Amino acid sequence: MKQNLTIREAHLEASSFLMESMSTQDASHVSRLLLEHVLGWDRSQLLLHWQERFPADKWACWQEALSRKAAGEPVQYIMGEQEFYGRVFQVNPSVLIPRPETELLVEAVLLRGRQLQARLQREALRVVDIGTGSGIIPVTLKLEQPSWQIGAVDLSPAALKVAQDNADRYAIRDDIRWMEGDLLTPLIDEQAEVDMVVSNPPYIPSLDIPDLQLEVRGHEPMLALDGGDDGLTCYRKLLMQVQQLRHAPLMLAFEVGYGQAGQVGEWMTAIGYEEIETIRDLAGVDRHVIGLRTV
């Protein structure tokens, strides 16, 4: 054990170790994030103690974090958290790590949903998030728009637990309805009335999974990634299922994979959605499809 290293030296050593094992440029950034996590400090505390000796009681934990990272584990799972829409969410390997582009989905849902609500002059909108994973979507929607009635469905009990813990963190666990089940099935079973269906379902075509980065394919849950043969299985099912609800929802808002927006938009049109809007992500990919039906 290298008890004599300063924090700065430990950081330099870790950066070159990670650079070799991860072969990425951001090794130094990752090392600093892991240091902050292991030492329980923020950036400024870290800089303040930069030249001091690495705390001996944290060394084993530090080494473990580095070897997990070197084995390809995403830094978010090691730290157990990821930020989304300005808030911190707990994550573990039973849920997909929230992606920044999903913030654009939430933003669009808030904007279009508020417009819809004003048009209908309704006090509340009934929104359900299908395949909620870590719960970033329902938790953010409820915190940004407390008047909406929000439900969240996931097939995985382990994912639902993470989502509920995240809602707990913001003291809104009991304000969201949690349902375990396959896509819209729990809502169809009870003939629920839903105004808006939001979903970021798994959409990677099965054959493309081996080409994903090791961090993704080796560590994130397949249930959250694999979208079947052409990647579109969940959209097909969801669009069949929305027609089995008591009333067709007024708005659908889906995140889609590369090259899928056109097809999903056509399917929405085919079942009566009129104003189809496509939203590009920051990389210029058509990433979200929103459909509205007139009342």
| 138 binding ligand GLN? (CB under 6 A) | no
Least Å from the CB of residue 295 to ligand GLN: 27
> Which residues are CB-neighbours of 179 under 8 A, at least 6 positions away?
151, 152, 153, 186, 187
Token pair, residue 121, equals 């002059």
Is 131 marked as binding a ligand?
A: yes
The site for ligand GLN, by CB under 6 A, has a size of 13
Q: Compute CA 99 distance to the chain's CA centroid, rounded to the nearest angstrom.
A: 5
Least Å from the CB of residue 177 to ligand GLN: 16
Among all residues, whose Cβ is closest to ligand GLN? 133
Is 135 marked as binding a ligand?
A: yes
CA-based end-to-end distance of the chain? 69
What span, in angstroms and rounded, lies between the C-alpha atoms of 136 and 89?
7
| 136 binding ligand GLN? (CB under 6 A) | yes
24, 72 Cβ separation under 8 angstroms: no
Is 200 marked as binding a ligand?
A: yes
| 31 binding ligand GLN? (CB under 6 A) | no
| 200 binding ligand GLN? (CB under 6 A) | yes
Least Å from the CB of residue 202 to ligand GLN: 5
Q: Which stretch binds ligand GLN (CB under 6 A): 65-73, 75-83, 131-139, 283-291?
A: 131-139
| 128 binding ligand GLN? (CB under 6 A) | no
Is 86 marked as binding a ligand?
A: no
| 94 binding ligand GLN? (CB under 6 A) | no
| 264 binding ligand GLN? (CB under 6 A) | no
99, 170 Cβ separation under 8 angstroms: no
Least Å from the CB of residue 216 to ligand GLN: 12
| 102 binding ligand GLN? (CB under 6 A) | yes
Closest CB to ligand GLN among residues 117, 132: 132
Closest CB to ligand GLN among residues 62, 178: 178
| 176 binding ligand GLN? (CB under 6 A) | no
Helix 261-270 to helix 233-242 angle, to the nearest 10 degrees? 20
Least Å from the CB of residue 133 to ligand GLN: 3
For ligand GLN, the binding residues (CB under 6 A) are 96, 98, 102, 131-134, 136-137, 200-202, 224
